[in-house]
Amino acid sequence: MHPRDLSDHVAYQAGRGIEEVARELGRDPSEFVKLASNENALGPAPAAVEAIQSAASGVSSYPKATHADLTAALADRWGVTDDQVWLANGGDGAIDYLSRAMLEPGDDILVPTPGFAYYGMSARFHHGDVTEYELSRDDDFTQDARTVLEAYNGERIVYLTSPHNPSGSTIALEAIETIATETDDETLVVVDEAYGEFADVDSAVALLEGENGFEQREDVAVLRTFSKAYGLAGLRLGYAIVPEAWADAYARVNTPFAASELACRAGLAALEDTTHVDRTIDVVETARNAMEADITAHVWPSQGNFVLVDVGRDEAESQSNSDGEATAVAEAMQTRGVIVRDCTSFGLSDCIRITCGTAEETHRAVETLNTVLEERASDTAAPDESEVSNP
C-alpha cells in the first residue's frame, strides 16, 4: 500500500531554529541570534502572554465562544461583517480554506516566483495545478498589473503578495483592481498581507468594501496573520477576509475549531495591545534603515520586517560563480552565531534574507555579514598558488 503520487509536491523549507543549529554545531544556544524566519524581535505582546496564562486552565473546552469573540473583533477592526472573517490555523490554514472553496480537480492557480511555496502546495493538496508569473530582480521585483495579466490564462485563483516575500515590494491598490477587473468573473484575486502592518500602503480590504473611491468587489480576498506584527507565530493564528456574497462557504470548508482556545485568547489580547504593535513597527523601520545603509552589498528596499541582500560575486564574475553564494554566506554567518535565510529555496541562489531584529541584533548581523563578504572577496582575489611562478 502506498500514498497517492506526491512527486509534484515539494516540502516547505522553514528557517532553521537556534536549538537545531546549536545542536548540529555542538554549541550553546545562547551564542546564536535567529534572523531567518521574520519573527517579531520583541516577542509576543505582554497582554497576549497574560491571556494565555489566564486561559491555560480552560483548554479542556472547545474554543467556540472565543472564535466568535475574535471574529467579531476582527470584523469591527476591518469594517466587515462577522461572516467575512474566516479564522484559521495560521495564514496557511486560510489558504487551504480558499483552496477548498475555489478549486475543482485540475484547476490552476497563478502565483509569483519567487514567492511563498505554500500557495502551490495547497493547490496541489486539493488536486489543482500551478502556473507562475515572474517578479524580476532586474526590475527590483516590481509588482504591477501588466506582469500578472501577461501570465494569466484563466486561472481560478491569482495570488498577490504585498509586501512580497522575500523582496519586500508592494503592489498598488489600483493595480490590484485592474487585475481583478481584467481577469475572468470566476477568478479570485487573493492578496496576502501577512506583512501588511509594516507597509506604507493601504490594505486591499478597501476593495472588498468599496472604500477610498473603489467600487465594491466580490472577486478579491485578503489574507492576514497574527504571526508577524503581533508576535504569535508559535500559536498559528491567521484569517482571511472574503467577499460578503460568498462568506457562508466558511461553514462548509473550515476545520472545526482550527484556531485553538489559547490562540484565540492571545489574538484578542494582542489585537487590543496597539502599543506593542507600534513598538514593533518602530523596531522594524529602524532595522530596515540600518541594514539598507550599512550592509556593503545591494539591499532591496523593503516594506516587510526583513530585507533581501544580494551576496553574489562581483558583476564581473560569471553567474555560475555566484550560484551557491547564498548557502556559503549563510553558513559562514551561522558559524559566527547569526542565523539568516538562504534564499536558494526561492530560486535566488545568490541572495539571503535577514529579519529585522533589535538594534543589537541588527548591528551584529550587519557586522557579521560585512565581515563574511570581505573575507570571501579576499579569498576570490587571492591568486591560486599553482599559478604563481617561482622567482
Series of mean pLDDT values for 10-residue runs along the chain (391 residues): 69 73 82 94 95 92 85 96 94 95 95 96 93 95 97 98 98 97 96 97 93 88 97 96 86 86 95 96 98 97 98 58 83 96 94 97 98 88 51 42
> What's the pLDDT at 389?
46
DSSP-H helix ranges across 135-210: 145-151, 173-182, 205-209
Question: Any idea what DSSP says for residue 246?
Answer: G
User: Domain coordinates of the chain in residue numbers?
Assistant: 18-43+275-379, 46-272
> What's the pLDDT at 19?
79
Q: Which CATH number fits domain 46-272: 3.30.1300.30, 3.65.10.10, 3.40.640.10, 3.40.50.970?
A: 3.40.640.10
**Cβ-Cβ contacts under 8 Å for 361 (sequence gap 6 or more):** 33, 35, 41
> What's the pLDDT at 89?
94
> What's the pLDDT at 316?
43
Note the residue count of the chain. Answer: 391
As its CATH architecture, domain 18-43+275-379 has Alpha-Beta Complex (3.90)
> What's the pLDDT at 390?
45
**Which residue in the block uniquely carries the three cell numbers 511563498?**
116
Residue 284 near residue 354, CB atoms below 8 Å? no
* Equal CATH topology for 18-43+275-379 and 46-272: no
DSSP-H helix ranges across the chain: 18-25, 46-55, 64-78, 90-102, 118-125, 145-151, 173-182, 205-209, 250-253, 261-272, 274-294, 319-322, 325-335, 359-381
